[in-house]
C-alpha cells in the first residue's frame, strides 16, 4: 500500500527540518508547501500536528507555525532516553535475530567496510540505515516508533552542529561491534555497545559546541 498524502507531507517536512532546509525559527508557509508537495489542507494539518508532537514544529495561535529551535540543553535528556531505548532494542534484536535478519546485518557490515572515510553525509545515511535495521529486528513497533522520534531529534541536532564536527566515520564504525554482537546472539554485549554509542554521539556533539 502506498503512503497517504498526510504521511507523504509528514515525511517530506520532517526530512527538511532534520537536514536544515527548514531551519530553526523559520515560519512554515503552509500554502506554498501544499502546492509544492501536491497535498491539500487536511493532509498538511495532519502532518503539522504530528511534527508538533515530535517537537519539530511549534504552533502559535496568532503567529502561525514555526520550526522549533534546536536547544543544545535538550541533548542530555534526548541522550538519556536513547541510551535506555537503544540498549533495549539491541538486546531484543540479539535475542530475536533470525537467519534472514543475519543477512541484513551482514549487508550492513559490508557497507561499513566500504564506507567512505571523511564523508559526513554518507556516514549519517549509513548510521540511520543500521539503526533502522536493528529496530526492525527488535520487533516491537511501539518502541520502534519512539526510537525513530528520538533518533530524528538527534539527527537534527547533529546537522545543526555539523560544520563544527570532524569526520564522523569513526563514530559510525562503532556499529561493527554492535552488529557482530547481535549476529552472535549476545544480548548483554549488544546492549552495552548500543548504550556506549549513544554516549559517544553525545560527547561528539558537545565537543563541537
**CATH 1.20.120.530 intervals, the chain:** 72-207
Which phi and psi (to 5°) does residue 6 adopt?
-65, -40
Rg (CA), the chain: 18
CATH number of 5-67: 1.10.10.10
User: So what's the pLDDT on residue 169?
Assistant: 65
pLDDT band for 117, please (50, 70, 90 cuts): low
Question: Above 60 in pLDDT, residue 145?
Answer: yes
**Backbone CA torsion sign across 146, 150, 151, 155:** positive
The label of the residue with cell 546472539 reads 185
Query: Is the separation of the CB atoms in 22 and 28 below 8 Å?
Result: yes
Q: Which fold has domain 72-207?
A: 1.20.120
Q: Would you state the cell numbers that stand for residue 201, as one nine-digit string?
A: 554521539
Whole-prediction pTM: 0.89
Q: Residue 119: pLDDT above 90?
A: no
Q: What is the pLDDT of residues 47-86, one digit of tens each?
A: 999 999 999 999 998 889 999 999 888 999 999 999 999 9
Q: Are 78 and 153 in contact (CB under 8 A)?
A: yes
Judge contact between 116 and 167, C-beta under 8 A: no
Q: Where in the chain is the domain with CATH 1.10.10.10?
A: 5-67
SS3 annotation, 156-169: HHHHHHHHHCCCCH
Amino acid at each position: 500500500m502506498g503512503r497517504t498524502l498526510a504521511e507523504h507531507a509528514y515525511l517530506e517536512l520532517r526530512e527538511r527540518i532534520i537536514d536544515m532546509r527548514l531551519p530553526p525559527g523559520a515560519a512554515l508557509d503552509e500554502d506554498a508547501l501544499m502546492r509544492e508537495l501536491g497535498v491539500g489542507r487536511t493532509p498538511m494539518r495532519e502532518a503539522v500536528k504530528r511534527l508538533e508532537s515530535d517537537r519539530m514544529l511549534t504552533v502559535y495561535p496568532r503567529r502561525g507555525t514555526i520550526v522549533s529551535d534546536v536547544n543544545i540543553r535538550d541533548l542530555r535528556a534526548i541522550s538519556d532516553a536513547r541510551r535506555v531505548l537503544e540498549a533495549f532494542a539491541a538486546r531484543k534484536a540479539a535475542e530475536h535475530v533470525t537467519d534472514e535478519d543475519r543477512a541484513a546485518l551482514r549487508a550492513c557490515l559490508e557497507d561499513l567496510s566500504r564506507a567512505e572515510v571523511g564523508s559526513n553525509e554518507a556516514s549519517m545515511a549509513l548510521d540511520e540505515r543500521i539503526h533502522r535495521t536493528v529496530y526492525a529486528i527488535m520487533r516491537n513497533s511501539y518502541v520502534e516508533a519512539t526510537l525513530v522520534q528520538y533518533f530524528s531529534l538527534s539527527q537534527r541536532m547533529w546537522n545543526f552542529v555539523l560544520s563544527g564536527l570532524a569526520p564522523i566515520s569513526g563514530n559510525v564504525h562503532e556499529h561493527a561491534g554492535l552488529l557482530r554482537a547481535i549476529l552472535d546472539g549476545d544480548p548483554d554485549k549488544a546492549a552495552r555497545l548500543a548504550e556506549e554509542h549513544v554516549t559517544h554521539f553525545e560527547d561528539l556533539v558537545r565537543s563541537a559546541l
